[in-house]
Amino acid sequence: MIRICKTRQFVTLGLWLLSLVTVLPIFQGCRKSADTQDSKRAQGNTFEKKAQTAEKELQCGYEPNTTSSTSDTKLPEPIIKSHRAADREKDKAILSLKDILGHPDKYDGRSIVVDCYYLQGFETVILSSNIVVHEDGNHYVENGDVWVSWGINPPRDSLSKLKKLPGLFPGGSSPLYGRVKAEGIFKIAGGTGIGHLGEYKYGFEIWRFQVFDESSNRFLP
């Protein structure tokens, strides 16, 4: 009777060990599968966050930074695009008209800023290096070979600050003149000329125009 009980105990213990050996690999496999899925899910979330960040940077006008590591990430510089001549750079060097006319090929088609004189009268709208005016109305224009066109509406407030030449001229009005700072596109006219009757060698398309005020010794905004 005692042997039978012991035999039953050994059989029960053997069956328990056998079931344990069978179930343990299955449990370990399920655990590994769950860990793998968690890892993939975490990687997917990280990738999605990076994609959303890159998309936001592009929408805000930033270029994605692909060179820096994730531990040393800096905001990329904004992308600045110029689509028109009016979208001009700030703090350009101010040139004299003599500089430009001395090397016209160098400045042809370029957006530049020039400190010069402006003259507007009967069939005349030009830039020149200097204008000397006498009391009797006679005047001398130096390097007046640049015909003016406007890339913007002519600024009436600025034009009203110009001086008037004494006396009446053809057309019944007094020409306006003065020292100005003009920003725009300089052009070489070519063989056909430009302006009234094609008399001018060069053209200047103005995008910004400021008149010099002698009392404050500065260009008015």
Number of independent structural domains in the chain: 2
Domain match, 116 and 49 both: no
Dig out the tokens for 21 from the structure.
């050996």
Domain match, 183 and 107 both: yes
Give the confidence band of 216 by pLDDT, cuts at 50, 70, 90.
Answer: very high
Domain match, 111 and 142 both: yes
Domain match, 103 and 211 both: yes
Strands 94-96 and 111-121: parallel
Give the confidence band of 169 by pLDDT, cuts at 50, 70, 90.
Answer: low
Domain match, 65 and 150 both: no
Residue 87 lies in a domain: no
Q: Which domain holds residue 62?
A: 2-72
Residue 83 lies in a domain: no
Give the confidence band of 67 by pLDDT, cuts at 50, 70, 90.
Answer: very low
Return the pLDDT at 66: 43
Return the pLDDT at 60: 45
Which of the residue ranges 6-10, 12-16, 111-115 would you say has the lowest mean pLDDT?
6-10
CATH of the domain at 107: 2.40.50
Domain match, 138 and 53 both: no
Q: Is 5 left (phi over 0), alpha (psi -120 to 50) or beta?
A: alpha
- What is the percent of the chain with per-residue pLDDT over 70, rounded to a whole number? 56
Q: Is 125 left (phi over 0), alpha (psi -120 to 50) or beta?
A: beta
Residue 213 lies in a domain: yes
